[in-house]
Amino acid sequence: MSTVDDNKWYAQLEPLREAAARPAGARRPMYLMHKYWARKPWYFVKQCIEHYTRPGDTVLDPFCGSGVTLAEGLATGRRVIGVDVNPVATLISRLTCAGPLASADFDRLLDRVAARARDRILSLYELDGNCPRCGQRLVARWVGRGPAWLAAGGPRVRLMCPAGCPEADGERPLTADEAARLTRLEGSAEARAARAWLERYPLFYPDGRRFDKKRRQDTLADLFSARNLLALKILRDAIAAEAGPPPGRRQATGEAAGGPHVGQPPADAAADALAGELLWLTLTAASHLCSSFRAPRAGHWAVNGLYVPPDWVDENVWVKFRDRAVRARAGKVEANKRVGEAFSPETCHIICGTATDLSVVPTASVDYVFTDPPYGDSIQYYELSYLWNCLLEFPGDHSGEIIINQFQGKNLAAYRDALTRAFSEAHRVLRPGRWLTVTFANKNSRVWDALLAACAEAGFELVNITTLNPISRAYNQIWASPAPKTDLVINFWRPAAHAHKRSRPAATFDLDAAVRQAALALIAERGQATTGEVSEEVLKRWIAHTYGNVGTGARRRAFSTADVEAILSRHFAPAGPPVSAGGERRAGSGARDLAWLPAATPIGPDARSEAAERPDSGTGFRKGYPKGTAKVSLMSHGKG
């Protein structure tokens, strides 16, 4: 197709109006190999890539995280570039995409590690009694520990047979002899030596300031029980013996992968090296599951912090590693089918570096940018992935992280400045007439203001906004009423010239009227409205108003979800948890979501007739967007 035809095709593109509906089997194994935060639904990423590009085009994600954009781009025949400042993120991205990797290569390496470590680790969890079916000594799948367990009659243990016999499954109190053996084990010289391994990694920055997410614990060693630290050290040493040094050390020193098995034909050595890196990644995928993060009746690492509750569940390290190895294997089987041979140095470039410097990417060489930038101070990626990076021996460097973190000395102004430089680089490398999609979530409008200012100052024109529901919700989305329950998806267009800024400020945004208008519209549609839903609709209107006023000196009112709830409480009546038309609790709502109904008494001027801030007015955008559309389109809830 000629360049003229190319330009015509892109010029006729309209922005996506609605996120794809969640398909059956949405939780793909290739994206379950390793935990990472704010991972976007693959089917939505795929929808965007297929809508805004054609096969052979180049897609960029300057905040690529765990690599969903890269994998979906390769799976649909595009070239991809991924950038992330976090070494473990780029490793997850590469191992998700790289291959194909034969399951047999991974299984052989896993078997060698099991021969070195399995029995030794399981012996640390031995219990009194034998399996009623096969006669093997029982081991603990997990042990509940802490003062609450002691007050309730002592630690409880979940029984299992090492051979997996279901007849052994059960739960009972830890016996006095078992508790005494555990105490002796955790006080042994071997356990103290294992503690020294992770005790050298403090939860502090080099200048002595603590991690933002740190609580009572001071080092990585404090995040584990002594027994689990010992088991993790045994496992780590076995992987190093069979798979070679961890990826971070190999990267720094050039040491070969594959341990003692490096004298192989090149193809076999390459497969073994890839399998070895995947095995190291399996270790990090299991590591936080073996920590003391899990509270009783809660999920693993339910809170985005380095918090050890007073009562916790101590998991069997080998069991968790084995389970994650099964996930890693299944993930690569699927990746082999979906990505296959598409991964190569010509089609996939993954860069561990900051998004503020894309100098390796030529100007006007990218056809589409899809990205999910850091959410202000909501997720502290460097701190939360510190354990993984230390286990992999990647260097700890937080300087390039775009974040709000007082202990790194990065405030809102620094966050905005870094985002502006990052989106200016994205603007430089993106071809004129192409599209940028940004997904974002934050309950504070000041953080949103920083994002919008960055995109506007970079030169992008905002075209439309829609919503995206995650595949699964984080702990705070479920339990915190003010937390946003969806992401907003903002589609920008890259004009041929830098977009002009608005020459004069618009009227101040009327938050009170916008809240009432949004609530009444949602109540008319659904019978009730939750705080989160109203906040989302108000935020869309606020974005449309704000984007046209960036750089004009106009005063932009800041607000949070708590402010929205305060306005709702003045004008509407609380109706308890949100319910569907059939009376059941509405799907997707948080545990503490509050629904609202019209108050019994008049609420003042009719909010339906108030201009609160028309979604399509007062935006002041230039008419450069294809088809002459110059106004923001605010779409209703998507089906994501």
CA distances from 125 to 97, 496, 546 (A): 36, 65, 58
- 386 shares a domain with 282: no
Cis peptide before 155 (omega within 30 of 0): no
Tokens of 212: 């933002």
Contact indicator for 615, 547 with CB cutoff of 8 Å: no
Contact indicator for 30, 333 with CB cutoff of 8 Å: no
| Calpha distance 413→222 (Å, rounded) | 34
**Angle formed at CA 227 by CA 223 and CA 231, multiple of 5 degrees:** 95
Give residue-wise pLDDT tens across range 211-267.
999 888 999 999 999 999 999 999 999 999 999 999 999 888 776 555 444 445 455
Among 499, 533, 554, the domain boundary falls at 499
Q: Collapse the DSSP code of 287 into the 3-class scheme (helix H, G, I; strand E, B; otherwise coil) and give the result.
A: helix
Task: Average the pLDDT over each of 83-87, 493-497, 626-630 and give the range with the smallest value.
Answer: 626-630
**Residue 271 belongs to some domain of the structure:** yes
Asked if the model's pLDDT at residue 52 lies above 80, the reply is yes
**Residue 165 belongs to some domain of the structure:** yes
Query: Helix H segments across 554-627?
Result: 561-571
With b meaning 16 or more CB within 10 Å and e meaning fewer, what string describes 500-513?
eebeeebeebbbeb
| Calpha distance 358→436 (Å, rounded) | 16
Among 499, 532, 553, the domain boundary falls at 499
CA distances from 326 to 95, 165, 346, 367, 472 (A): 15, 18, 30, 37, 21
Q: What is the chain's alpha carbon radius of gyration, rounded to the nearest angstrom?
A: 27
Q: Which position has the token pair 């802490």?
A: 146
The conformational region for residue 259 under phi > 0 = left, psi -120 to 50 = alpha, else beta, is left
What's the whole-number mean pLDDT along residues 372-390?
96
Backbone torsions φ then ψ of 148, nearest 5 degrees = -65, -40
- 505 shares a domain with 486: no
- 255 shares a domain with 226: yes
Query: CATH no. for residue 86?
Result: 3.40.50.150
**Residue 627 belongs to some domain of the structure:** no
- 513 shares a domain with 492: no
**Residue 616 belongs to some domain of the structure:** yes
For 149-299, list the strands marked E by DSSP. 156-160, 170-173
Report which of residues 394 and 547 the model is more confident about.
394
Asked if the model's pLDDT at residue 106 lies above 60, the reply is yes
Contact indicator for 19, 27 with CB cutoff of 8 Å: no
**Residue 637 belongs to some domain of the structure:** no
| Average predicted confidence (pLDDT) for the chain | 85
Give residue-wise pLDDT tens across range 482-499.
555 688 999 999 998 765
- 554 shares a domain with 414: no
pLDDT band, residue 192 (cuts 50/70/90) = very high
Backbone torsions φ then ψ of 201, nearest 5 degrees = -110, 95
Give how many domains the chain has, as a whole number.
3
- 489 shares a domain with 359: yes
Q: What is the pTM of this model?
A: 0.88
| Calpha distance 207→74 (Å, rounded) | 42
pLDDT band, residue 37 (cuts 50/70/90) = very high
What's the whole-number mean pLDDT along residues 94-121?
95
Asked if the model's pLDDT at residue 136 lies above 90, the reply is yes
**Angle formed at CA 250 by CA 360 and CA 393, multiple of 5 degrees:** 95
- 225 shares a domain with 183: yes
| Calpha distance 72→368 (Å, rounded) | 13
Tokens of 282: 């399996």
For 49-105, list the strands marked E by DSSP. 58-61, 79-84
Domain boundaries, position 225: 103-335
**Residue 632 belongs to some domain of the structure:** no
Asked if the model's pLDDT at residue 503 lies above 80, the reply is no
Q: Collapse the DSSP code of 383 into the 3-class scheme (helix H, G, I; strand E, B; otherwise coil) and give the result.
A: helix
- 242 shares a domain with 292: yes
pLDDT band, residue 54 (cuts 50/70/90) = very high
Q: Collapse the DSSP code of 620 into the 3-class scheme (helix H, G, I; strand E, B; otherwise coil) and give the result.
A: coil
Q: How many Cβ atoms sit within 10 Å of the Cβ of residue 299?
A: 10
Task: Average the pLDDT over each of 108-112, 171-175, 393-397 and give the range with the smallest value.
Answer: 393-397
Q: Torsion angle, CA of 102/104/105/108, rounded to 10 degrees? A: 170
**pLDDT (0 to 100) of residue 26:** 79
- 305 shares a domain with 209: yes
What's the whole-number mean pLDDT along residues 89-94?
97
**Residue 630 belongs to some domain of the structure:** no
Contact indicator for 628, 14 with CB cutoff of 8 Å: no
Contact indicator for 42, 67 with CB cutoff of 8 Å: no
Among 464, 499, 534, the domain boundary falls at 499
- 198 shares a domain with 126: yes
| Amino acid at residue number 613 | E
| Calpha distance 68→471 (Å, rounded) | 13
**Residue 13 belongs to some domain of the structure:** yes
- 485 shares a domain with 366: yes
- 244 shares a domain with 110: yes
**pLDDT (0 to 100) of residue 551:** 52
**pLDDT (0 to 100) of residue 629:** 40
